Amino acid sequence: MRVLISLCILVSISAASVNGVTDPTDVSALKIMFSSLNSPSQLAGWNSNGDDPCGQSWQGVTCSGSAVTELKIPSLGLTGSMGYQLDGLKSLTNLDISGNSLGGNIPYQLPQNLQRLNLASNSFSGGIPYSISQMGSLKYLNLSHNQLQGQLGDMFGQLPNLNSLDFSFNTLAGDLPESFGSLTSLNSMYMENNQLTGSIDVLKDLPLQNLNVANNQFSGWVPEKLKSINPQIDGNQWSSGPAPPPPPGSPSSGTRSNRNHNSGNNNSPSDGGNGKKSSIGGGGVAGIVISILVVGAIVAFFLLKKRSKRQSSDVENSYDDRPFTAFASNEVKESKPVLPSFTVVPPKPIETPIPVVSLRPPPIDRKKSFDEDDFSNKPIVVKKVNRATIKATAYSVADLQMATTSFSPDNLIGDGTIGRVYRAQFGDGKVLAVKKVNASALRNLSSEDFMEVVSNVSQLHHSNIAELVGYCCEHGQYLLVYEFYRNGSLHDYLHLSDEYGNPLKWNTRVKVALGTARALEYLHEGCSSSVVHKNFKSANILLDSELDPHVSECGLASFISKADYEALEQNSSSGYGAPEVALSGQYTLQSDVYSFGVVMLELLTGRKPFDSSRPRSEQSLVRWVAPQLHDIDALTKMVDPALEGLYHAKSLSRFADVIALCVQPEPEFRPPMSEVVQALVRLVQQEN
């Protein structure tokens, strides 16, 4: 027996000294991490040749048996990235890399059984990886103080143990996802200093004790239930006036008072509800039932109207939907199940406030309707633009003059509807693009209007949108400063480069289509109020040194007067305008989709949308190509000869299928940009 035991000990010791006691998958994950961190000397014991983090007690590593259970390496001045194999750490419950200088995206491959994940105070950019949605044991998540951006995905539906969530001090945008409502253990939530929009209603039933949503762009009303925990809410765009009644048919919360429809209509959202329960007799009940039916009917009407127009279509429409959104913000997006739930509203009269007031929420401070002169994209107008919210640098005219050698023609790189664009080189060597806004574009606009546009545009952040970095509003000069993209516009690249230049390869064309589709998807569906581009064309797609596309002139539609637009459209040389725009002058999300389809046609054929040098039947690209998009033989004849046949026929015909959807004459049949993006993503995947 004794011999046997000592034999066992001997075997295990020799095994340890040869292979280490640490699980090889864990070893491999840590070694890849070590080299991704640029093999830092400050990590004592770590060693790219070592193979036993547990046995050799690598700094910050805690093990249980042969498995790594904790990895805590905060504030060590680490750089680089986390490595791409952390999902191999199957037993890891605590990962703390906070307070370092790690950059790049947070990898998708994360340990799936974490209880604590702390990546705070690094330089991570990009989005929040969806793999976090699979971490069912997660209790603590801290991603604060990074440069995370984009919208929060709907990825919080299965994190029932999450207790503490900190996303503060990033540049996250978009509305709070519905799945936040499923965080049934959430005690503390820190979202301050982001660019989040929409209402925070989805948080109202969470067991929160601490909530900070300060310095975002939230709007709507702070739910009564949350007011009792004294949330930090400053620096948002809360609606003033009384909150609207809850959606009919939804279980209204007991704390909601009937102050919604009392006579005083100037309650600030911050004064607490003086919760008085209405006690109503039989006649009242009947009245309420009738009111509910009436409201139901009106809501159903709005829904039907909305549906018949398919997707929330144009800006006009989304404004129409606004009052309705205030009632049923959640339901509005899912089309199918909504209607029945309203028609069978169970009469729950006592708790449901009587919506006797108009269906509209307190008047939105909006200038004019969409098709009037001001052409404002944003229905909600912030009157006094708070310059502190502008996330772009203020330049002086002198700065910009110096950088462009007094706007010398040598530096002219573009001439658009809104103004000329100059290449600007600054003292520190940085090169940017300066757009000098035409006086004519500003005819009706005050400097306050200009600053409002700057403020709105400075909040658009997307890797496929030309980034506004600065502005200048001085001495009657209005200038916008953008990132500079080395390869110029797609228009010039396709149509002006000489024959022996470097034609875009098929894969690059698909990449450009997908990138710009994502940009439009973001403008249409990712922003709190949809932004219609109105001037989407290949000249407004800029290519960087990697030939990745960046859409320009986003959010600048208000600089183009209606007359200019009419000139643009009547002037048949454009070729981008949807047929209904020529008829009605109405720009909508769907007219952008059409223009996008035309740009895809340009990518496919290498031709301009309108080319008077061609035979008459081929002058208008859409008219010439659209009828043949499903004919593969015809397609191969129309495809850009510069491709020299280097493309997959399958890919080409799928590309053509997407175009066919986008350039349909009936706006209501064109797909929303999110569907276009999905179709193009599938195309890319199949290609690979």
The contact set with ligand NAG (CB under 6 A) reads 98-99, 120-121, 142, 144-145, 164, 166, 188, 190
3-state secondary structure of 96: strand
Q: Do 275 and 257 touch, CB atoms closer than 8 A?
A: yes
By C-beta, is 230 or 444 nearer to ligand NAG?
A: 230
CB of residue 610 to ligand NAG, shortest distance in Å: 55
Question: How far is it, in rounded angstroms, from Cα 12 to Cα 6?
Answer: 10
Residue nearest to ligand NAG (CB): 120
Q: Outline where DSSP puts E strands in 221-349.
A: none
Q: Do 327 and 248 touch, CB atoms closer than 8 A?
A: yes
CB of residue 118 to ligand NAG, shortest distance in Å: 7
CB of residue 99 to ligand NAG, shortest distance in Å: 6
Amino acid at 680: L
3-state secondary structure of 380: coil
By C-beta, is 73 or 560 nearer to ligand NAG?
A: 73
Question: How far is it, in rounded angstroms, from Cα 360 to Cα 282?
Answer: 28
By C-beta, is 119 or 598 nearer to ligand NAG?
A: 119
Q: Outline where DSSP puts E strands in 193-258.
A: 195-198, 210-212, 217-218
Amino acid at 52: D
| 637 closest CA partner among 620, 657, 652, 651 | 652
**Start-to-end Cα distance in the chain:** 60
Q: Do 356 and 284 touch, CB atoms closer than 8 A?
A: no
By C-beta, is 72 or 322 nearer to ligand NAG?
A: 72
By C-beta, is 164 or 232 nearer to ligand NAG?
A: 164
CB of residue 144 to ligand NAG, shortest distance in Å: 5
CB of residue 75 to ligand NAG, shortest distance in Å: 9
Q: Do 146 and 122 touch, CB atoms closer than 8 A?
A: yes
CB of residue 121 to ligand NAG, shortest distance in Å: 5
Q: Outline where DSSP puts E strands in 203-319.
A: 210-212, 217-218
CB of residue 110 to ligand NAG, shortest distance in Å: 17
By C-beta, is 100 or 558 nearer to ligand NAG?
A: 100
CB of residue 140 to ligand NAG, shortest distance in Å: 7
CB of residue 98 to ligand NAG, shortest distance in Å: 5
Question: 283-291: which pairs have CB atoms within 8 A and are 24 or more residues apart?
Answer: 284/349, 285/347, 285/349, 285/350, 287/354, 288/347, 288/349, 288/352, 288/354, 289/347, 289/349, 291/354, 291/355, 291/356
By C-beta, is 145 or 491 nearer to ligand NAG?
A: 145
- Whose tokens are 């939105």? That residue is 364
3-state secondary structure of 582: helix
By C-beta, is 165 or 554 nearer to ligand NAG?
A: 165
By C-beta, is 58 or 167 nearer to ligand NAG?
A: 167
Cα angle 489, 493, 498; round to 5: 145
Q: Do 481 and 540 touch, CB atoms closer than 8 A?
A: no
By C-beta, is 105 or 188 nearer to ligand NAG?
A: 188
By C-beta, is 211 or 523 nearer to ligand NAG?
A: 211
| 234 closest CA partner among 191, 178, 175, 266 | 191
- Whose tokens are 């309650």? That residue is 267
Count CB atoms within 10 A of the CB of residue 165: 24
Q: Do 598 and 616 touch, CB atoms closer than 8 A?
A: no
Phi/psi-derived region of residue 266, left when phi > 0, alpha when psi is between -120 and 50, beta in every other case: alpha
φ and ψ at residue 159, rounded to 5 degrees: -125, 65
By C-beta, is 188 or 257 nearer to ligand NAG?
A: 188
Q: What percentage of the chain's residues is helix, strand, coil (to nearest 5)?
A: 35, 15, 50
By C-beta, is 98 or 411 nearer to ligand NAG?
A: 98
Question: How far is it, in rounded angstroms, from Cα 638 to Cα 632?
Answer: 10
By C-beta, is 99 or 127 nearer to ligand NAG?
A: 99
CB of residue 210 to ligand NAG, shortest distance in Å: 8
| 364 closest CA partner among 322, 421, 329 | 322
